[in-house]
Each structure stands twice: as C-alpha cells, then as structure tokens.
Amino acid sequence: MKKVVTIKVLLILTLSVVLIGCKKSSSSKNSSRATGWQINNKEGGFQYNTSFKEQETSPGLVFVEGGTFTKGRVQDDVMHDWNNTPTQQHVQSFYMDETEVTNIMYLEYLDWIKRVYPPSEENFRAIYHGALPDTLVWRNRLGFNEIMTENYLRHPGYAEYPVVGVSWIQAVEFANWRTDRVNEYNLESEGYLKRDAKTTDVNADATFSTDTYITAPTLTYGGNEEVINPDSGRRNVQTDADGNPVGIYATRETGIITPKYRLPTETEWEYAALGLSDIRAYNLYRGRKKYPWDGQYTRSGKRKTRGDQLANFKQGKGDYGGIAGWSDDGADITNKVKSYGPNDYGLYDMAGNVAEWVADVYRPIIDDEFNDFNYYRGNVYTKNAINDDGTVEIVTTEDIVYDTLSTGKLVARNLPGEIKQVPVDENETYLRTNFDKSNQINFRDGDKRSSRYFESFNDDETEDGNQEDAETRKMYNAPKHSVTRDSLGNIVREFDKDNNRTSLINDEVRVYKGGSWKDREYWLDPAQRRYFPQDMATDYIGFRCAMSRVGSKSKEKNKTKN
C-alpha cells in the first residue's frame, strides 16, 4: 500500500515539474527580450507567431538545400563559345517543382481565367487568349504533326506531359497566378477567408491577390466583408483593451502566407540539376559532374535497368526513340513526367524531355567578379502605386493594361484586384550604393557605362550627336521589330530589315537550360545555356517553378555535421 502511495506522489511531482517547466518555457517564448512585455497578450499589444518552426513545403515543390558550387562548363567546351566559363557561386536554399509544369496543371490555370474573366466578354477576351499556349509550334513545313497541334495540350492522353508552346512571359504569369491560388487556399484553411469563396464568390470584380491582401486586406474580393472576415471561429481573433478585434487578417507575421512561386534563376536551376548532394566532402563539392545523374554516360548501369537511357533526348545522328518493339528512351516527342529516375534532390527530368525557361536575361558573360551570391541578371525594381489619399491603387476591370508582343499577341500586364506597380524613383535610390535605378538588367553589361564608346560628358555617345548612329555602336545591336495599331485598331507589323544588325541579344531574350526531346546529348549538361525571345514559344521549351526558402539554410531533420 505504501509503495502505491509513493508511486502516486512521484507521478504527481513529476507532472508538476513538467507543467511548471512548460509554463516557464511558454512564458519565456512569449516574453519580449527587448522590453519584457508579453507577446500575443490577450489584452492586445504586439502579436507574432512565436510557435513557427519552419517553412512548409508548398504544393508540387521539393526542398533543395543551398551551397557553394562551380557554375559553368567543367567538361571540354567543344563549341568554344565561352558563354559558360566556370565560376564559383553560392546559392541559398530554395524549393523547386518536382517535375515540369504539366498540361493538366496549365489547363487548371486556363480554366480559372475562363471562369473569372470570360473570353465571351470583349473586355476580357485578350486575357484568356494571351494565356493560351501556342499549339502551332508543333507544325513543320515538311512534317505531319497535326495530331499534336490538335491534341497535345488538352487530350487526357497527354495530361501528365510537360506543357510546351508557352513563352517566358506566360510562364511568369502562371507562377504569379499559382502564388495567389495557393495562398488563397492556405488562408481559407486557417479560417481567414470564407470556405469555398475561391469558387463560389470570385468574379472579375472580386478576386484574391496575395500582395493586395498583405497591403490592404479589406480591398481583396472587392471588399466583400463576408468573404474576408468570415464568422468561422477558427482564427485566433482576440480583442484589445477597448474591445476591438485583433488578428482579423493574416499578416506576414503569422507565417501562413508563403513566398511567391517564380521561375528559378539560372544559377538555382543549374545547381538543382547537378544534384551535388551525394558528392560532398566536408564543406566542398568534389569532382566534376556531367549530368544530373552520376557517371559519364547516358545509359543506366544498374542491374535491373542496365542499358536503358536515363533521359529523353535525340540520340546519335537523329534517333528520337528507337525501333518499334524496343525503344531507347521510351518516347519520340516529350514523355510523361517521372518516366525517368530523379536526381539526388528528387527532381525529375532535369535533363531531356523539355528544355526549361529560367528567370535570367541572357548575356554571354557572367559577371562573377561583381557578385558570387545568388547571381541573377534581370532585376527591375518596382513599388506600389499610391493614390492621392495615400491608399494603394488597385487595378480595376477598366484599368487592365495589355502589352503588344513582337508577334502581335496581346498579354495582360496586370489583372483586376492587383496593386498597380510603378518603377522605384529617387525616394528609394538616393545615396544608395547597392542600386541606383529601377531597371538593373544592363548593369555592367550593355549599358552606356559598359560600352567601349562611353564618355561621361557625352550622353549621345557620338561626336555629332546622332542618336540613331549611337544605337548601332552600343554593345548589343539586335533587330527591332515594330508592332503598332492604326486608327482602326488593326495590327501593323514592321519587320526590321536593317542589314547592319550584329546580334540577336537584347534585353528581351531569356536563358533556357537543359536538353530536350529534340536535342542531342551535348545539351544535357546542366551547365549549357541558350537563349530565346521571351515573348515567343517552341515545341521543346517548358518550365518549372521555384520558391525561395525563408529561415534556416537546412531542414532541422536533415542537419548533419562533418
């Protein structure tokens, strides 16, 4: 009997110690080390998510732990073009799509646009048409490919195949749309938005934009209070000392709103494709790697799959897929995603299948001497447009701005519900040393200061002040095709026939990486880089999205020490 009493007393004492410890721990976590005040006090004051552990992996993504690596061609440069000279770069940890964006993923995007901005209405017609992939990329003057032209995008047989015919601009717009839909769902799940409002309450005048919700939440969904302030009881809504509600809207401090989906930078893409995680020694990456997989060959050396091709590409002198009954890579055009094994980061098709758009503007030389951390060329800094009354300017259905591409196609630059963006000005750039203007694409390459003809006292760059002549003496002298509209609204296309053009490189050409079903083995090397106009599409370029990681470099459960 005494033993039973003793055990009970010990249990009570143990539980008391644990509860007191937990209470102290919780109290210390919610106590400010700056002021000693309580954080998240029910009576009001500073509210912050002190229980946040780490960023959750968003839909479709896998984690890629960052590191320092050698970017560029480490094998023999047989082409001798020297546009990918090896440089040391460091990449921060990030997330990347497990596979390329597939047809079914892109069709979901088109379906949303069609429902919210019906193309039957003249004001919205260009939004839907501007998002449509160019299915005519499959046509060939001497080839019978109409079956792909008519079926590749929409037929269920190609649902899990990578989408093609998408320009760089369209890929960026898809990533922006995806950001809003994921955050819309997250906020709904946490009770900050009305359940199912994303399908039942959305229309052209009432949509959700992540940036708008963060900056001016009452303006999302057209200010529909029933949607943006639901009486669900699931949120941690508190009241201040005066009884006013606190925490009605989610903020960045809650940790619920994810960073943006975007195209990966060239450096991120190359780093992820190499999959270097298994060849590290101490704090360095050892050896050279030619493909996303180990070894110097494109065929599998594993016993079960020995001899099988490890990617979908054009073999030898033009073999797209082997002979009937026995195939080299199992495909003649693109192939279903995940048809080949992933690399060490768990990423599929980082070589072959389709080449992929990345974020960077193309330049033949990487300026590693200026920056070796998260290298990226293409920054254009903007800020929110502000009304006269100090509120942010929201795009309405009457304010949609369309860009006319070099092909004559119209693409919506902004959508209703978004915050209008304007270039940063002297208010942000004055006396700064890290940037001095909004558009930084030409920094140290292609602008006046990097031209051999630059004279600080002569903005015209010529002795006689002829600006037209100056244009031909800059670093890049690419064709300038013109697309305008006449008084009747008809498109007038003018092809640049100037015989003095010396380059195809300008600020509108973007890098694409990785070999495709149409490329030979040479292009499978992740270091290879090519460029293509950002407003045009092909049957061999697709894309995948990335997302920055916030917080720690490593996932807690994966931390290892050498």
**Residue 429 is inside which H or E element, if any?**
helix 426-429
Dist. CA 51–CA 30, nearest whole Å: 9
Give the range with max mean pLDDT: 121-125, 229-233, 236-240, 358-362.
Answer: 358-362
Determine the pLDDT at residue 259.
96
Q: What is the token pair recorded at 58?
A: 């968003």
Per-residue pLDDT, 498: 85
Percent of the chain, pLDDT > 70?
79
Residue 545's nearest CA partner among 265, 262, 349, 343 is 262
Distances (CA, A) of 141 to 188, 416, 518: 50, 41, 17
CA distances from 500 to 184, 406, 504, 508 (A): 51, 20, 12, 19
pTM for this entry:
0.88
Tokens representing 256 are 């619920």
- Which pLDDT belongs to residue 99? 97
pLDDT recorded at residue 209 = 96
Q: Which run of H or of E encompasses 532?
A: strand 529-533
Residue with the larger pLDDT of the pair 22 and 269:
269
List the domains of the chain with CATH numbers. 61-456+465-548 (3.90.1580.10)
Reported as a single tens digit per residue, the pLDDT across 258-278 is: 999 999 999 999 999 998 755
Here the tokens at position 331 are: 């495909």
Measured in degrees and rounded to the nearest 5, phi and psi for residue 69 equal -150, 170
Pairing of strands 355-361, 541-542: parallel
Q: What is the 3-state secondary structure (H, E, C) of 152-221?
A: CCCCHHHCCCECCCCCHHHHHHHHHHHHHHHHHHHHHHCCCCCCCHHHHCCECCECCCHHHHHHCHHHHH
Across residues 197-214, what is the average pLDDT? 94
Mean of per-residue pLDDT scores for the chain: 84
- Higher pLDDT: 152 or 521? It is 152
Contacts of 245 (CB under 8 A, 6+ apart): 237, 238, 239
In the prediction, which pLDDT does 461 show? 43
Q: What is the pLDDT of residues 134-193, one digit of tens each?
A: 999 999 999 999 999 999 999 999 999 999 999 999 999 999 999 999 999 999 999 999
Q: By the 8 A CB rule, do 406 and 533 touch?
A: yes
Q: Give the whole-angstrom CA distance, residue 98 versus residue 546.
A: 10
Q: What is the pLDDT of residue 335?
A: 93
Distances (CA, A) of 104 to 157, 320, 442: 10, 25, 37
Separation between Cα atoms, residue 217 and residue 109, nearest integer Å: 24
Q: Where is average pLDDT lowest: 300-304, 361-365, 453-457? A: 453-457
Angle between helices 103-116 and 168-189 (to 10 degrees): 80
pLDDT of 244 reads 67
On the question of pLDDT at 282 being above 70, the answer is no
pLDDT one-digit tens code per residue, 330-381? 888 999 999 988 998 999 999 999 999 999 999 887 666 678 899 999 999 9
Interacting residues of 471 by C-beta distance below 8 A, sequence separation 6+: 477
Tell me the per-residue pLDDT of 406-416, one tens digit each, with 9 for 90 and over. Answer: 888 889 989 99
Band of residue 2 on the pLDDT scale cut at 50, 70, 90: low
The pLDDT of residue 161 is 97
Whole-number percent of the chain with pLDDT over 90: 50
**pLDDT category of residue 478 using cuts at 50, 70 and 90:** confident
H or E segment and range at residue 493: strand 491-494
pLDDT of residue 221: 95
CA distance 273 to 347: 8
For 287-409, list the strands marked E by DSSP: 355-361, 382-384, 402-404
Q: Which helix (H) or strand (E) holds 110?
A: helix 103-116
Q: What mean pLDDT comes out for the span 109-118? A: 96
DSSP string of 82-99, one letter each residue: -SS--EEEEE--EEEESS
Beta bridge partners of 243: none
What are 344-354's pLDDT values in tens digits?
899 999 999 99
Calculate the dihedral angle through the C-alpha atoms of 510, 512, 518, 520, rounding to the nearest 10 degrees: 120
Taking the alpha carbons of 332, 170, 71, 346 in that order, is the dihedral positive or negative? negative
Please name the amino acid found at residue 414: N
Q: Where are the beta strands (DSSP E) in 334-407?
A: 355-361, 382-384, 402-404
Contacts of 304 (CB under 8 A, 6+ apart): none
